[in-house]
Amino acid sequence: MAQKPSIPKGTRDFSPAEMVKRNYIFDTVKSVFQKYGYLPIETPAMENLSTLLGKYGEEGDKLLFKILNSGDYLKKADSALLAEKASNKVITQLSEKGLRYDLTVPFARFVVQHQNEISFPFKRYQIQPVWRADRPQKGRYREFFQCDVDVVGSNALLNEVELIQIVDDVYRLLDINVVLKLNNRKVLSGIAEIIGAADQIVDITVAIDKLDKIGLDKVNEELASKGLSQEAIDTIQPIIMLSGTNAEKIVKLKEVLSKSEIGLKGVSELESVLNYLDVLKLDLEVELDLTLARGLNYYTGAIFEVKAKDVEIGSITGGGRYDDLTGIFGLKDVSGVGISFGADRIYDVMNQLELFPKADGAKTRALFVNFGGEDELYAMKTLADVRKAGVNAELFPDAAKMKKQMTYANRKEIPFVVLTGEVERKSGNVTLKNMETGEQSQLNLDELIKVISI
RNA sequence: GUGAUUGUAGCUCAGUUGGUUAGAGCGCUGGAUUGUGGUUCCAGAGGUCGCCGGUUCGAGACCGGUCUUUCACCCCA
């Protein structure tokens, strides 16, 4: 027991059955991305630590997996820092690489590095694992896949709209009921501005974001504890408690934010996006939600988040506009907007709701029983013809007992078993057994292919 | 990072106030049935009770530590 091998906390193995389901999600997402003109890229699992550090806030830095330098890494470290065990200061001397934390920052790095080969607007998607040194819990893993779509080099709000269309398409294809929550960082900045607390925008959004969980009183308490005056708190009450249709919310926001230039800009952006969406008549429910703040520091415009309606789990998709992400890497004035589908959470949702399609082309349709010798050769030849006809089929590798071979077929849920023994070989036919009904029949090759094809 | 929680056979779990050789169901292997699975019957294999240490005549059970599981907070996909 003790010697049983294991895998690191928060990581998982995926069985063949699970991979078939996961690939269904990846294939669906990919097909939608490509339909909108996005093309794939990949970046390395590890990045230079300097690329990653400082991009996700102080919390994010702690959650980065750092990779120890090769060789005698302790020798190069400052002995004074080592002695005082100053982990934070010493780490950059011990590690210069880290596992990627998301796909957006590596993408920004990619854009800057390859700026001369890229023509803008640049639309790419990226489906790869990311790693976070979080404590695992429900719907939270240390290694998980993100499916990112981003477009950079265009300020047009049409891009925001297109991403929402993609969300609509993906979740319609996957048959998951979702609600897309929409907000705009400029609106949040405007709110901070009108109450004269522009530098506390983060505190305010974090507090407002908790409305669902802790309730209005606690939010107000938290705002007060962050140093907001009672007057300021009173001013933003109507905003925190905003209700009605999206259009009604827009009207109210315009009133409240009438003295904030940036706030009005945000409202107008939201309005434009919603107007576009009206034309498209999506299935997707889009809800203007000011409590949606998102912690990531780099969003500057639209913010999206998608939640599954029928399962209690964190957001399954999230994203937004970031005006200056590439600026950190030295390329100014390239605005981008993107979203990320959380494949693992989508998997959990679909699994719980049993939304995965049953029939599957990936499975074996027929097992050829191996009788050895001449019969084995006859089976191989027939099998090759069946495969040429496009049917997934396999031959049991050993001339094992029939019972064992039948059990194998049964366990693998293979619907047909083909018997090609001495009798069949001499007649040039095969015996086909339907594993569900138990019926058997004598068929020639063409008839066989016809019956076992999907 | 904070606070809880879990760990006994491949899997799901029993195991009394500490007491002799740690159990069940399912699964697995073999046989009944040497060219027929899924049903039935019979037999069998399989455990250093997560790990390290402590208390005790005696620990799966009690204590400490550690790892692991799950969950909440934080944050997020």
Q: Name which of A171, A120, A104 is nearest A329 in CA terms.
A: A104
Contact A343, A145 (CB under 8 A): yes
Is strand B within 7 Å of residue A194 (CB)? no
Tokens of A368: 């050829």
Amino acid at A8: P
Asked casually if ipTM beats, i.e. exceeds, 0.85, the reply is: no
> What are the 10-residue block averages of pLDDT along chain A, 454 residues in total?
67 82 93 97 95 85 88 76 70 86 94 94 96 88 94 95 96 94 89 76 72 72 77 79 85 89 94 94 89 73 92 88 87 92 91 77 86 93 96 90 89 90 92 90 94 87
Residue A198 is predicted with a pLDDT of: 65
Contact A284, A208 (CB under 8 A): no
- How many angstroms separate the CA of A360 from the C1' of B29? 32
Is strand B within 7 Å of residue A435 (CB)? yes
Q: At what angle do helices A185-194 and A230-240 cross, to 10 degrees?
A: 150
Tokens of A116: 């001369």
Contact A65, A144 (CB under 8 A): no
Residue A359 is predicted with a pLDDT of: 60
Is strand B within 7 Å of residue A2 (CB)? yes
Contact A371, A430 (CB under 8 A): no
Q: Hey, which residues does A302 pair with through a beta bridge? A: A184
Contact A303, A182 (CB under 8 A): yes
Which residue's alpha carbon is at the shortest distance from the C1' of B29? A404
* C-alpha torsion angle, residues A220, A223, A224, A228 (rounded to 10): -130
Q: Name which of A98, A101, A160 is nearest A128 in CA terms.
A: A101
Is strand B within 7 Å of residue A138 (CB)? yes
- How many angstroms separate the CA of A4 from the C1' of B23? 23
Is strand B within 7 Å of residue A6 (CB)? yes
Contact A379, A396 (CB under 8 A): no
How many CB atoms sit inside 10 A of residue A327's CB?
A: 15
H runs (alpha helix) in A210-289: 211-225, 230-240, 246-256, 261-280
- How many angstroms separate the CA of A5 from the C1' of B57? 37
Residue A231 is predicted with a pLDDT of: 81
Residues whose CB falls within 8 Å of the CB of residue A17, separated by 6 or more in sequence, listed in order: none
Is strand B within 7 Å of residue A382 (CB)? no
Cis peptide bond N-terminal to A357, omega within 30: no
Is strand B within 7 Å of residue A87 (CB)? no
Alpha carbon distance A212, A224 (integer Å): 18
Contact A181, A287 (CB under 8 A): yes
Tokens of A140: 């939270």
- How many angstroms separate the CA of A3 from the C1' of B18? 28
* C-alpha torsion angle, residues A57, A59, A65, A70 (rounded to 10): 70
Task: Tell me the pTM.
Answer: 0.86
H runs (alpha helix) in A2-155: 16-35, 49-52, 57-63, 79-83, 87-94, 104-113
Amino acid at A145: F
Q: Which nucleotide is nearest to A348 (CA to C1')?
A: B77
Q: Name which of A396, A130, A183 is nearest A289 in CA terms.
A: A183
Residues 280-299 (A) near nucleic chain B, CB < 7 A: 294-296
Is strand B within 7 Å of residue A311 (CB)? no
Q: Which nucleotide is nearest to A294 (CA to C1')?
A: B76
Is strand B within 7 Å of residue A13 (CB)? no
Do strands A178-184 and A302-308 pair parallel, antiparallel, or not at all (unpaired)? antiparallel
Contact A341, A126 (CB under 8 A): no
Alpha carbon distance A147, A12 (integer Å): 18
